[in-house]
Amino acid sequence: MAVVFQKPHSLIDVPLHYCPGCTHGIVHRLVAEVIDELGIEGRTIGIAPVGCSVMAYDYFNCDMIEAAHGRAPAVATGVKRSDPENNVVFTYQGDGDLASIGMAETVHAAARNENITVIFINNAIYGMTGGQMAPTSLPGQVTQTSPYGRDVNHCGYPVKVCEMLSELEGPEYLERVTVNNVKQVRNAKKAIKKAFQNQLDGKGFSLVEVISSCPTNWGMTPQAALKWIDEKMIPYYPLGCYKDRSAEKEAE
């Protein structure tokens, strides 16, 4: 009998700890499918962040490293530089990890065009610690530490990571996707695959920002959370490719 659907080999068959309706599970699966399709599981080393996906090391079948909060791109730099010809290195980071405490590591890994793949989960909130304001929380967004809504006069504006990094000469590829419907999931997978393929081709720093949902800490049902992505998140964080240096060069 032909197998038409199965779990990716590079995703370990264990229950994930994520909340119902959280999109981490989808993104984990996409990353694993890409690793399978590219046949790189045996030489891939993943770097888990601090945050909801801290235990990603228990889910991916490839070698895994747990990094300090925000330091995944620096750890990935070390791993990549230890064996640049063979290693495939990816980080998997949330918004607090990548865009707040680890901003310096993110920006400089991008500026160096470090040949790594970065999967960036932007759900506009700190999930693991129970729903505090993130660097990407929207203006007016109510969180545990912005109980009256994010007041931009008091704590400033959200960080638009793809837009910001696209101003740098360094990075190869920056794309923002989401996973709130089937079509978007397919697009997200394409972007993730490209981000890994770029590394295999030696092209350099490739980051895919995935606009994700956090029904638990947004205080919504999973369905309402997916809708909120369309209504609130995407207008502020427009989807699309922010930089594709190789494509730009070809076009010239």
Partner 1 sequence: MADKVLMKGNEAIAEAAIIAGCRHYFGYPITPQTEVAAYMAKKMPKIGGCFLQAESEIAAINMVYGVSSTGKRVMTSSSSPGISLKSEGLSYLAGADLPALVVNVQRGGPGLGGIQPSQSDYFQATRGGGHGDFHMIVLAPASVQEMAELTVKGFELADTYRMTSMILADGTMGQMMEPVSLDFDIKEAPEKPWATTGTKMQREHNIVNSLYLSPEKLEETNFERYEKYKYIEENEAMYEEYMVEDADIVVAAFGIAARVSKNAVNEARSRGIKVGLIRPITLWPFPTLPFKKAAEHAKQFISVELSMGQMIEDVKLATDCKVPVTLCNRVGGMIPSPEQVLEAIMEADGGVK
Binding site for partner 1 (CB under 8 A): 41-45, 47, 54-55, 57-58, 60-68, 71, 74-83, 86-88, 104-105, 107-108
Q: Kindly state the smallest distance separating residue 39's Cβ from partner 1, in Å.
A: 10
With respect to partner 1, which residue has the nearer C-beta, 67 or 177? 67
With respect to partner 1, which residue has the nearer C-beta, 124 or 207? 207
Which one-letter DSSP state was computed for residue 96?
A: H
Determine phi and psi for 173, rounding to 5 degrees.
-150, 125
Q: Kindly state the smallest distance separating residue 209's Cβ from partner 1, in Å.
A: 21
Determine phi and psi for 223, rounding to 5 degrees.
-65, -45
Q: What is the SS3 assignment for 10?
A: coil
Task: Check: CB of residue 197 under 8 Å from CB of residue 163.
Answer: no
With respect to partner 1, which residue has the nearer C-beta, 68 or 164? 68
List all residues 6 or more positions away from 108 whose beta carbon is below 8 Å from its beta carbon.
73
The CA distance from 247 to 172, in Å, is 10
List the structure tokens of 14: 């264990």
SS (H, E, C) 239-252: CEEEEEHHHHHHHC
Determine phi and psi for 73, rounding to 5 degrees.
-65, -30
With respect to partner 1, which residue has the nearer C-beta, 40 or 121? 40
Q: Kindly state the smallest distance separating residue 233's Cβ from partner 1, in Å.
A: 29
Q: Kindly state the smallest distance separating residue 71's Cβ from partner 1, in Å.
A: 4
- Exposed (0-12), middle (13-18) or buried (19+): which is 98, by Cβ within 10 Å? buried
Q: Kindly state the smallest distance separating residue 100's Cβ from partner 1, in Å.
A: 14
Q: Kindly state the smallest distance separating residue 28's Cβ from partner 1, in Å.
A: 15
With respect to partner 1, which residue has the nearer C-beta, 65 or 224? 65
With respect to partner 1, which residue has the nearer C-beta, 17 or 186? 17
Residues forming a β-bridge with 60: 11
Distance, CA of 172 to chain centre: 16
